[in-house]
Amino acid sequence: MKTFLLSALAVAGWATVASAAPFGPLLAPGEVAGSGSPLILDIRETGYDKGHIEGAVSAPYALFRGPAANPGELVPEDELEATLQSLGVTLDRPVLVVHQGKDDSDFGAAARVYWTLKSSGVSQLAILNGGMNAWRDAGLPVQTEAVTPLPSDVDITFSDQWLATEGEVDEVVAGDKPAALIDARPPAFFEGQQSHPAADRPGTLPGAENVPHSVWFDGTPRMGDAGSAKAVAAKLGLDQQPEVVAFCNTGHWAATEWFALSELAGLPNVKLYPDSIVGYSHGEGEMANVPSAMDNFLRQIRGSN
């Protein structure tokens, strides 16, 4: 069985030694060489067969997402475990998550997979900053032959350490639990002028602050470093909060927010609300910035033109 999991490093003459630098959470293409021998998960939905990092396993983002009616919903633990086993994931081997890197929105896919793997118990994780686009821009080698992973027998217990449930969100909204709610969506969503197709209502969570996911980037698809993440967190006062809960439409952009605050800025109590507004809007919970019936009608008319 062909695995090719180490061949990229061998062909390029890269050293893979036990004394490699600490792994992750964000690696530039040129830093992968000194990162040991990670399992590389290519999470792109398309393009894998056109060229991928040598040794990378195809692991499309959809494997880590919920149904169309609620894409942010958690994958059931037994189903997720079977998926990780089929990809060859273990809890101790480093995993490098690779997305396309076409824009800052695309980064959310890598962040959501990273969050899922960390919550599953994987101890060493990194995202390739800039994704495959950055890898190609650096002139690094690719292959087109598909890699067959060596299945594992990993046994996971999904942790709630970085998870905010709807019940916990309700407590924050009601003022029964101290936490900052941050809406990672572009302002039009926060203001109720735009909504996800699967959401029952436009609007946001009461008391939420709009912190668009794009604030963590410098105008390119590559995320800033830990220093810039700490500076943004301090400017927003998020480093003074007892807890931060990030949400968006479907837990995609919010995963970027969680990654920047938890993994880069190092805030100790940051959680992701995976179902986010789509899931929340399906219930009876109070929402803010919900347009009136007339505003909704006018918005729909404008959208159909």
The domain locations on the chain are 7-143, 166-304
**Whether CATH 3.40.449.10 fits 7-143:** no
CA geometry: angle 214, 33, 104, nearest 5 deg: 10
Which stretches of 54-165 are DSSP H helices?
A: 77-87, 107-119, 131-137
Answer whether the bond into residue 25 is a cis peptide, omega within 30°. yes
- pLDDT (mean) for 184-192: 98
Average pLDDT across the chain, whole number: 90
CA 281 to CA 249: how far, in whole Å?
A: 10
Statement: residue 11 has pLDDT above 60: no
CATH of 166-304, one of 2.60.40.1220, 3.40.830.10, 3.40.250.10, 3.40.640.10: 3.40.250.10
DSSP state of 165: -
What are 44-66's pLDDT values in tens digits? Answer: 999 999 999 999 999 999 999 99
> Where residue 17 falls among pLDDT bands split at 50, 70, 90?
very low
| pLDDT at 305 > cutoff 90 | no
Burial class (CB in 10 A: 0-12, 13-18, 19+), 253: buried
7-143 shares its CATH topology with 166-304? yes
Percent share of the chain, pLDDT over 90: 85
Residue linked to tokens 């942790």: 159
Q: Are 254 and 272 in contact (CB under 8 A)?
A: yes
How much is the pLDDT for 34? 75
CA 265 – CA 43 distance, rounded (Å)? 25
